[in-house]
Structure 1
Amino acid sequence: MGFAGFDTEKIGTLAGGLEKASQGAGPLHRQVAMVLTRANGLLNGSKPVTTSALLQPLVGDLMGGLFFGGYRCMPGTLTGELDDTQASMKRRCAQLGGVQKLVDDGYDVDPSLYFDDEKPPDQKKINTALTDLAELNGKNAGDTDGRSDLERIKGDLDGLTPTELDAFLDKVPAGDLAHFNDVATHTGNSGIWPFQHSNGLPSGEYRDFTSSLLKKAGPTHWPKIEAAFPVQPGFDTTDAWLEGQNSQQEQGVHGMHYGTPQDPLFKTPGTVDASQVSQGRFGDCWYIASLSATAQRDPKFIAEGIKQNANGTVNVRIWDKNGKVHWVTVTPDLPMDKDGNLVSARSTGETWPAYYEKAFALMYAGDTGGAPDDHQGDPLYDRAEQGDYGATEWDFNQKAPPYVTGNDSKKIDSDVPSIRKSFQSGHPVIVSTGSSADQETKGQQIWGDTFSTRHVYYVKGFTKSGDIVLGNPWGPDWPEITATPEQYKEFFGDPEALSMPS
């Protein structure tokens, strides 16, 4: 009986029983409270009327706390709890019946969405979205009525429930989705007249839209979204892919592919430890240093900026180049090597830095070209990129902070007392090294391989003697650097103070 293992008749009977029980919880509460209150009066304080922690709050609670927003304890609290539960069960049964009709009519819906607590799917909404998108397919970017066609289709899709979106994705031709992406990303004026509307959708608005699709869709239809829209950053433009190794640490990277990690988002939910963050094999120390510096200063801020959705995707809070905040949705798979080890950023036993990095790769729009040593001018390396991991490599340390905190960083005087003053006033601080080969040789004689040129570090603190302590974003396997003020002046510079949101 039922559909997909759910017997809606039995579930409905149970819901009816819970509804009846919820209606009796209030009277039962008052009766128990009356008995305990009378008994307490008869005992006149000679002994407790009850030793039960659950029943003690009922002594004298003849009104059930109704003047204070409802029942505050058992059994009165069951009135709302049971009522909410039975109402949810009935909604889910109605949703399940609607899904069954979709399946019977030939739609493929991801099983994870069958018993969702939402309105039953409406095939009319699904068909409207399919029709509107099909009509767009006959128009070129310059032929659309400004953004109105795009906005109408975007509204269609935004208004779909997860189940309806999944059914839409099952039926929509891949070419229609790809054409929508072409038109939406073709921005600019629609003609020579100054009052004509612009084409396409603003990049931030479009990123929010594609995130909403991923957040709702069932896993079986993620590949269709990934094929049509820019939601999965590529890695074939990174140094690790092109050279087969990380260009600074010279760690081999072979068989790079997307895979789903086994480690959780957080080992302890809501808790991050900056000292355990590792950069991975991509050349984005300037970003990971900013992320680590911020996590050290305000771990709660970073932990609250990442959430796992019901369908397994991950939401990451990130600001765009214009300072507007977005919650970027990414799929849970991450770049791995041939042995299944993460190539991207990570923390010890957890993956939250990898998703920050993945969202940053999608959002970063400041890359104007950059290359490791000996590759300047090589078009494979030294080129402007956007929307992939390659765009996050080899850029300047002041460009990353706005994406992490929403605020521009501030240059401070490049001496240890100035950095300490800024650090102690609450600012995360990052510093960088130059590109001299002689400096690298000399620095490694002092600190070993944890010193590198063309690298960004974050300030961890200061010693009692006044030395500066720097963390290496490569991770906990690389020792921190303790430098005297004189050593700092010789080997480091360009300090940036990050500004946390107020």
Structure 2
Amino acid sequence: MSSTELRLSTFCGFDLDRVPALKKALTEVPGAAAGQSRAVGVTVENAYSALARGNGVSPRNLGLDDGSQGTDSDRSGFTAPSRDAADVAADIGRRLAHLLACQKLQEDGYTIDPSRVFDDEPAPSEQKIKAALAQAKTLIDRDSQWNNTDDVNDLKNKLVGLTAAEAEAVVGQLSDPDLKALNEAFTERHIGIVDISQGLDNNGRIAIANALYPGLSTDQLHRFASAMTSLAPALGGTDGSGNQDQNGIHYQWSNGQLFIDGKAAPSEIQQGDLGDCWFLAGLGAEQQVNPNFAQQHIRDNGNGTYTVTLYQDGKPTPITVDGQLPYNNWNPPQTSFEHSPSGASWVQIYEKAYAQSHGGYANIEGGYGNVSMHDLSGKSSNRVDPDDTSLNDIRSKLDSGVPVTVGTNSHHSGFLWLHSDETFDNHKLVTSHEYIVQSVNNSVDPPTITLRNPWGQGANPPETVTLTQDEFNGHINDVDFGG
């Protein structure tokens, strides 16, 4: 066989002659299995009859019902092939159609991902690919200020409708300048005194990321996501903007592991220069009562993207983000917001997904633990005054698997109490700050409650603090119970 013939008969390691032959053979298995089953049954029936004649008795005396041996495929061992072969053949048929369509795309000059050519997805449509590229070119060739929302949403709808193979082909045809131009078209802006809206709203940006990110190859994902900064949550406008920790803040790809040894713990939470203690405390409280919470709600897509399941009005809402995280321009750069002491990135990915769902990091500053836990779990939650609960009640809730956070009081000092303090009680607690409730100890007198600060390790005030009932009543503003 010549090298040309070999190339034509194989594609991405698949033999284009043998795969169809396998499908055909599997299609024939149910009929062959039934025939073999009948043959075995007849053989067994003849053996019983011969045995009966040799003993001068009726076959019924040997427990043989007339005709049963000819149809008892289960006893003859042919049930599984008869039942499953047709489904397997259909599965291979779908994958084969996908494989051949990917081969055609490559022949026509499109980029394909060799690792995805045998996916069980609908065969990619070159017509859909061309339609998406044509609409993209319309936006690319036009100054972004003249791109109306309808045109941008038309491209969004075409992109959202693509399969993984189709998305790979579309992105592969777009140059880096093309992607930059599309990013400008997608960027949401309001123009003029009549407040004309252009670009994509947050739901549109989330829809594109959810649809395209999980299926792209790593190379194409990095090209696309690095150019499409409009699809990531905005970094500016936070209360700490201009602080040293946010000096030169930018997105940068992270090499950290999602989980260390597949585990996650509240001690890996370490709040950065972002006022989202309420969100991180809620996340830590959920993880504390369910050590697999984060693992159950984050899916690693295997290409540098992650799909986080949040909840809106109690309904699961997937949010897909890439692995680029907010870094400053220190030497070496450090993550500006959440930064786990273990090097795991699961908290940062959760924080980014939550910021994405709200349209930017600035939009998740300030809140209460009950809102965080509701958005994280989809379960009902509530916030109560400390006087309306007790340490014993909180202990009971924790023992039954209910996550709990608390918020501290504000504190003022100085002339006429005009100075707003950051800490109080000899730097024991942070003012107006959300804490994870770690435990309640009823075996001591007086009972105590131990709180974990989402500022994390090495912080001052300390990572954990233990309060008596009186201190709890004096320092805590609200108690938040999850579902």
Note whether the superposition's TM-score is higher than 0.5: yes
Q: 2:453 aligns with which of 455, 460, 472?
A: 472
Q: Secondary structure at the match of 2:299?
A: strand
Find out whether 1:327 has 2:329 as its counterpart.
no
The aligned residue for residue 404 of structure 1 is 376
CA distance in 1, matches of 2:70, 2:339: 56
Q: Is the 8 A contact 2:455 2:463 kept in 1?
A: no
Q: CA deviation at 1:353?
A: 2.7
Q: CA deviation at 1:126?
A: 0.9
Find out whether 1:227 has 2:227 as its counterpart.
yes
Query: Kindly tell me: are residues 204 and 460 of structure 1, through their superposed partners in 2, closer, same or farther at Cα, counting changes over 3 Å?
Result: same
Q: Is the 8 A contact 1:347 1:353 kept in 2?
A: no
Q: Deviations over 1:249-301 (max 9, x none)?
A: xxxx9999734445354745xxx654443225454332211111123345566
Query: Kindly tell me: are residues 435 and 15 of structure 1, through their superposed partners in 2, closer, same or farther at Cα, counting changes over 3 Å?
Result: farther
Q: 2:301 aligns with which of 309, 323, 341?
A: 309
Q: CA deviation at 1:463?
A: 1.0
Give the alignment of 1:19-168 within 5 angstroms. 19-21=27-29, 23-28=31-36, 75-137=78-140, 138=142, 144=148, 148-168=150-170
Query: Kindly tell me: are residues 260 and 20 of structure 1, through their superposed partners in 2, closer, same or farther at Cα, counting changes over 3 Å?
Result: farther
The aligned residue for residue 482 of structure 1 is 466
Q: Secondary structure at the match of 2:466?
A: strand
Q: CA deviation at 1:400?
A: 3.6
Q: CA deviation at 1:215?
A: 2.2
The aligned residue for residue 11 of structure 2 is 3
CA distance in 2, matches of 1:32, 1:482: 76
Q: Secondary structure at the match of 1:287?
A: helix
Find out whether 1:495 has 2:467 as its counterpart.
no
Q: Secondary structure at the match of 1:116?
A: coil
Q: CA deviation at 1:61?
A: 12
* Greater Cα offset, 2-11 or 178-187: 178-187
The aligned residue for residue 286 of structure 1 is 278
The aligned residue for residue 385 of structure 2 is 413
State the AA in 2 paired with 1:463.
N
CA distance in 2, matches of 1:358, 1:21: 51
Q: Deviations over 1:426-479 (max 9, x none)?
A: 6532223445698847445xx6xxx54554211123111432222233457876
Q: Deviations over 1:7-58 (max 9, x none)?
A: 2223333444444445434555677789899999x9xxxxxxxxxxxxxxxx
CA distance in 2, matches of 1:348, 1:28: 60
CA distance in 2, matches of 1:39, 1:482: 82
Q: Is the 8 A contact 1:345 1:354 kept in 2?
A: yes
CA distance in 2, matches of 1:318, 1:186: 23
Q: Percent identity?
A: 25
CA distance in 2, matches of 1:21, 1:281: 61
Q: CA deviation at 1:157?
A: 1.7
CA distance in 1, matches of 2:147, 2:172: 28
CA distance in 1, matches of 2:253, 2:411: 35
Q: Secondary structure at the match of 1:119?
A: coil
Query: Kindly tell me: are residues 191 and 102 of structure 1, through their superposed partners in 2, closer, same or farther at Cα, counting changes over 3 Å?
Result: farther
Q: Is the 8 A contact 2:321 2:349 kept in 1?
A: yes
Q: Is the 8 A contact 2:264 2:292 kept in 1?
A: no
Which one has the bigger helix percentage?
A: 2
State the AA in 2 paired with 1:305.
H
The aligned residue for residue 407 of structure 2 is 432
Q: Is the 8 A contact 1:319 1:406 kept in 2?
A: yes
Number of paired residues?
Answer: 435
- Give the alignment's TM-score, normalised by structure 1: 0.68
State the AA in 2 paired with 1:124.
Q
Q: Deviations over 1:374-431 (max 9, x none)?
A: xxxxxxxxxxxxx24x6556x3435644532457853311248446536635653222
Q: Deviations over 1:133-186 (max 9, x none)?
A: 333454766774xx5434432332222221111111122355665555555554
Q: CA deviation at 1:63?
A: 5.5
Q: CA deviation at 1:3?
A: 2.5
Q: Deviations over 1:206-225 (max 9, x none)?
A: 41233212123222222224
RMSD (CA atoms): 4.8
Q: Is the 8 A contact 1:412 1:419 kept in 2?
A: no
Q: Is the 8 A contact 1:208 1:327 kept in 2?
A: no
Q: Deviations over 1:338-396 (max 9, x none)?
A: 7899874559685433321221122235xxxxxxxxxxxxxxxxxxxxx24x6556x34
The aligned residue for residue 170 of structure 1 is 172
Q: Is the 8 A contact 1:126 1:164 kept in 2?
A: yes
CA distance in 1, matches of 2:39, 2:240: 72
State the AA in 2 paired with 1:487.
E
The aligned residue for residue 458 of structure 1 is 436
Q: Secondary structure at the match of 2:257?
A: coil
CA distance in 1, matches of 2:314, 2:209: 19
Q: CA deviation at 1:496?
A: 3.9
CA distance in 2, matches of 1:37, 1:232: 71
Q: Is the 8 A contact 2:205 2:231 kept in 1?
A: no
Q: CA deviation at 1:241?
A: 9.7
Which one has the bigger strand percentage?
A: 2
CA distance in 1, matches of 2:249, 2:344: 22
Q: Is the 8 A contact 1:409 1:496 kept in 2?
A: no
Q: Secondary structure at the match of 1:314?
A: strand
CA distance in 2, matches of 1:19, 1:362: 47
Structure 2 gap segments, 5+ residues each = 1-5, 52-67, 414-420
Query: Kindly tell me: are residues 30 and 341 of structure 1, through their superposed partners in 2, closer, same or farther at Cα, counting changes over 3 Å?
Result: farther
Q: Is the 8 A contact 1:217 1:311 kept in 2?
A: yes
